[in-house]
Amino acid sequence: MPTGSIYSGLIVPETIAVLSQPKGARTGTMGGIMALRISKLGAKGALVEGRVRDVRYLKESLDMPVWFNVPIHVGPTKVEPNDIILLDPAENGAICIPKDKLDQVLEMLPGIAAADERKMGHVLNGMSVEEAAKIC
């Protein structure tokens, strides 16, 4: 972010804002005023690592989905512009797929889903998770 800039003015329309609370910050990373601004600029939601204020206002008045207190840095993974962010409102969870890895992930998904279904069947029939993982 350019020095002296406020993130709410840098939003790209039709995207989800990914925000991280600066170390030592004593205020919320996002509240009603910032959410109103990013909504007006076309943001579809926000993923926030840090404090969020005015959550009820965001949901009821702005219809702004917000996922918060979700880590956006996991080990060496860093969220970059144009990465794919998948948000699950039912689970209040999120994942980041680096844009350059999207094809690999899409290739892997059917195999992972099929293996999970097989494991689920084995566990349902009384097998331990460890045993099911070994044979699937």
For the stretch 36-39, contacts whose Cβ atoms lie closer than 8 Å and that sit 24 or more positions apart, written own/partner, are 36/62, 37/8, 37/9, 37/11, 38/7, 38/8, 38/11, 38/64, 39/64
Beta 66-68 vs 73-74: how paired, if at all?
Answer: unpaired
Q: Is 24 annotated as a binding residue?
A: no
93 annotated as ligand-binding: no
Lookup: tokens for 113 = 């889903």
**Is 53 among the annotated ligand-binding positions?**
yes
Nearest CA to 78 among 100, 57, 97, 104? Answer: 97
33: annotated binding-site residue? yes
Known binding-site residue numbers for substrate: 31-34, 53
Binding residue positions: 31-34, 53-54
Q: Residue positions in the annotated binding site for Mg(2+)?
A: 54
